[in-house]
Amino acid sequence: MGLLFDMHVHTRRHSPCSEIDETQLIRQAIKAGLDGLVITEHSYQWPQEELAELLQAAGEPTFLLFSGAEIFSDQGDILVYGISPEAVSQFPPGDEALHIIRRVQKLGGVAVAAHPTRAGLSYDVRIRNLPFDAIETESCNLKPHEQRLAWRLAESLELPGITSSDAHTLENAGAYAVEVDGPIHSMAHLCNAIRLRAFRARGKLK
Ligand SMILES: [Zn+2]
Ligand SMILES: [Zn+2]
């Protein structure tokens, strides 16, 4: 049994579209059965101090709280993990997808296509030329047929599928998760696990 992570969650602190009160997030995540989660705001990455403060306030020092970001590109949204908050802030909105992915990977991070088959927000056939590390195949924001399409896309691209909540409401946090082979003590460990495909999609938890 590995560690259960939700890799895609937005809070109202930095994502205006989210209703999630960040001070309740960790308690909800533990209730959902998660060992850790990654806060991925739109175009913003929580710095270490902000994460540490939230963990301390929650009184759950062993919970694995990390941050990445969701970046809007010219082809679709990209989840980026393992780079610095400064590097995240340097991507202009609508930047070229290939440029973002290459830059993230050069900096030691990983790039994941967010909801690639979501109606209105999907990638087109050019996704075949993008060197993603994985693609998101299930979330609260992908309908069942969009999830099936995303799994088929992952298979044809020979990429692993990541199942995350993309939660914007508290009850959705931890609704979907991946099971990652541990030990995981940092975002760098989590990125390694993604690159090595040392994880399994667990889909919807309940
Ligand atoms: Zn949002
Ligand atoms: Zn999102």
Please give the distance, rounded to the nearest whole angstrom, from the Cα atom of residue 183 to the centre of ligand 1: 30
Paired residues of 4 in beta bridges? 179
Q: Domain range holding 81?
A: 3-204
Residue 199 has pLDDT above 80, yes or no: yes
pLDDT in tens, 79-116: 999 999 999 999 999 999 999 999 999 999 999 999 99
Q: Domains in the chain: how many in total?
A: 1
Nearest ligand to residue 6 Cα:
2
Q: What CATH number is attached to the domain comprising 68?
A: 3.20.20.140
Please give the distance, rounded to the nearest whole angstrom, from the Cα atom of residue 172 to the centre of ligand 2: 12
Average pLDDT, stretch 156-180?
98
76 Cβ contact list (under 8 Å, min separation 6):
97, 113, 114, 115, 116, 121, 122, 123, 127
pLDDT at position 11, please?
A: 98
